Chain A
Amino acid sequence: MDALSSRVAAGTFTSAPPSTGDTMTNVIEVNNLTKRFGKLAAVDDVSFSVRQGEIFGLLGENGAGKTTTIEILEGFQRADHGTALVLGVNPCLAHRGWHDRIGLVLQESDFDPVHTVNETLKLFASFFSNPRDVSETLKMVGLTDKAGERVGRLSGGQKRRVDVALGIIGHPEVLFLDEPTTGFDPVARREFWTVIEGLREVGTSIVLTTHYMEEAERLCDRLAIMAKGQIVAEGTSAALISAMGATTIRFELPADVEVSTLRSIAGADFILRDNLVEVLLGTGVAEVLLRLLQWSETTGVVLTRLEVVRPTLNDVFLGATGCDE
């Protein structure tokens, strides 16, 4: 994996720069954005764009610069260098009319516990010029039966759904979701994904930060992986995975077989890892497999625990962020 990870880390998998000038369909344009806290560059020369109606994912470990980037786009922080335009406007100079078109789900926030879910949503709905109906919004996030419950009595996952409800109640054109499913159980997470997919269907453009690869793979049309303030890979998850290219073939080394003999049998350099032999192949996967199976058939050697594994987004992530071993 070393050669691969260095290729990913070197940025050879990053797709073409976004500056295509096609601002008509880009709701967000970020160019050379930099933000420093003292000596640390939290965001270091980052550029990307988000097209209308797509879900764009920002992935990275804690401290990679995702939240700083998203907070600049939300107008909470000012960039030191570079430009960020959201709906054609610099967020830190935006007036109230711009906020009317933006929805926010912050990474951390809490509510006044004594109000009901309904009352909380009603207050927020009153801020916007074209709010969604409160009961419709509750239905979208699956909280209809909690409408009359005080917010303080909700579970963590239910509170997070109230957060999302507040984010979407203004009919936003652009919705920012900062780690929306942290702390969710697997069932709640799946339900949440359905909510987000529903928003995409009605044309909402979404920027999502997450450190769940499964979530990014399922939801994001395109994504960027951040590490140490920089974008180290960008594209669709399918493109990133296929750019990673390699397929792994592995099985348990049969007794009385030397690893070195597999070279002449299968035509590939297998290595021994624990009890398993494996090889990472860019091309010729089918040929190697065929030779292995023919060998198995003619000699009667059983290929226990045989696996052919395509890389996942997680492998891309680990390669790109330099976190694999």
Chain B
Amino acid sequence: MRFMRLSVAQAVYNLRAYLRSARTVVLGVVMPVGLLVILSWVFAHQGEIAAAAGYQISAIAFYAGGLTAYGLMLGTFTGVMVAVVSAREAGWLKRFRGSPMPPGAYLAGQIIFNVVISLGLVIVMMLIATLVYSLHVRTVALVAVFCYSLLGVFCFTAIALAITKVITTPEMASSVGPTATITLSFTSGVFLPPDLMPHWLTNVANYLPLEPLAQSMQSALASTVGTGFQLRTFVVLGIWGVVGFAVAQWTFTWQPLRR
């Protein structure tokens, strides 16, 4: 009970900081929404795009799914990294460590906060896809996209925490996050159909977290029946998440790195 209360207090604290900082809102919402509007508009005439070998889906399902996954990685991965590194370098984490707050409540607060932000992003993206581009989003597809988002938050939070040990400044965090996300997006069928990429590159991307997430969201939105459920997505993101948390457990530091 106390743990939940403290986790929610942390999440509310983060949410307030998020809403008061223009940069995070631009990065997390405006950028994916803008890309969705532009790319869907440019490629609408294409009709269908090959989301995977022999799997043609509508341009709007391709971009609504792919860019939601992109926004989710951009927001969570960058957001957690920036939040943790800034708090650590400011001595804020050290202060937490010296307080009676259980360390897990800080982590839970980060996850709850990112879940809220991600669900917000999903809602905005789905509304635009539906209202502007007449994508028919079935309830079951919406639920599936929500579930994939939770999986994505879990996975990207873990990876972000795992690499904070080598990210020494908040500035570094806020450049590493978008750079990694945008680079990965090109190989993961987010901006461009994957068949435009070399075969070996898409093979590698299959084992990185963004490609399965994007593809699952795309197929959930494109399918006319079911959710397009893919076990592969849960396995790949699950392994990345568990390994990420395990590494974070070993390497995470509460004290500032600079001295």
Contacts and interface: CB of A to CB of B under 8 A. Distances in A.
Interface residues on A, range: 20 to 34
Interface stretch (B54-62, B84-92, B186-194, B223-231): B84-92
A233 B134 CA distance: 81
Contact of B95 (A97, A100, A104, A114): A104
A212 interface: no
Given A115-B13, A123-B9, A97 B92 contact: no
Given A99-B98, A115-B13, A127 B92 contact: no
Contacts of B90: 109-112
A320 to B, nearest CB: 27
B98 A119 contact: no
A96 B91 contact: no
B255 A76 contact: yes
Contacts of A115: 13, 16-17
B39 interface: no
Contacts of B92: 109-112
B99 interface: yes
B5 A126 contact: yes
Nearest to A150: B20
A170 B99 contact: yes
A112 B17 contact: yes
A124 B99 CA distance: 8
B138 interface: no
Given A109-B92, A126-B6, 11 more contacts: A76-B97, A76-B255, A102-B98, A104-B95, A104-B99, A109-B91, A109-B94, A123-B10, A126-B5, A127-B6, A170-B99
Interface of B: 5-6, 9-10, 13, 16-17, 20-21, 86-87, 90-92, 94-95, 97-102, 255-256
9 contacts: A75-B98, A106-B95, A110-B90, A111-B90, A114-B20, A119-B16, A126-B5, A128-B99, A170-B99
